[in-house]
Amino acid sequence: MLIFYVGNDLYALDSSQVVEVIPRVSLRKIHQAPDYVAGLFNYRGAIVPVIDLCHLIQGTPSRSHLSTRIIMVNYVGKNNTQCCLGLMSERITETLKKPDTELVDAGVQMNDAPYLGEMIMDEKGMIQRIRLEYLLSESQQIYLLPGADNQKLPTN
């Protein structure tokens, strides 16, 4: 699992969903988009939207640290279409290997945030898993990922 922070809270993404972690880059703002949409950038010839996970989860933008990075993922949207998506967050510096059997139900159902998944107990504290498949609602996918049918991540 790839570990990152939102404020002082730890979160994780399944490493198998991560294509690459890149440094924070200059983004083109999308006017009239929700605040958690950080902007767009050119990733190997593809125009890719970037979601600021700090803003989405906590309501405050990611701070500009050296360890604030963009996690490139292949997002599987509606109809099982794959497309490029960047996820910006803070202090993305390490991975953690834990079996799925160590995931514990958080015990709280968040209808407005279905992407907040199970918890992992670790010496660092509680780490909450982000369920990428629930990150964007169907309507969010429509306006953020218009070319979902043919926008797969470019290869090196």
**Domains of the chain: total:** 1
The pLDDT assigned to 103 comes to: 82
* Cβ neighbourhood burial of 73 (10 Å; 0-12, 13-18, 19+): buried
- Is 35 a domain residue? yes
pTM value is: 0.85
User: How far is 113 from 81, CA to CA, in rounded Å?
Assistant: 22
- Is 156 a domain residue? no
Two structure tokens written together for 147: 């070319």
pLDDT truncated to tens, each residue of the chain (156 aa)?
Answer: 999 999 899 999 999 899 999 999 999 999 888 999 999 999 999 899 999 999 999 999 999 888 899 999 988 877 777 888 999 999 987 898 887 778 888 776 666 788 888 899 888 889 999 998 888 888 788 778 755 444 444 555
The pLDDT assigned to 3 comes to: 93
- Is 83 a domain residue? yes
The pLDDT assigned to 155 comes to: 55
Host domain of residue 42? 2-144
- Is 155 a domain residue? no
Provide Rg for the chain, Cα atoms.
15
- Is 105 a domain residue? yes
- Is 152 a domain residue? no
- Is 84 a domain residue? yes
Say which CATH number the domain at 135 has.
Answer: 2.40.50.180
Q: What is the largest CA-CA distance in the chain?
A: 43
- Is 114 a domain residue? yes
The pLDDT assigned to 147 comes to: 57
Nearest to 51 by CA among 78, 76, 33, 31: 33
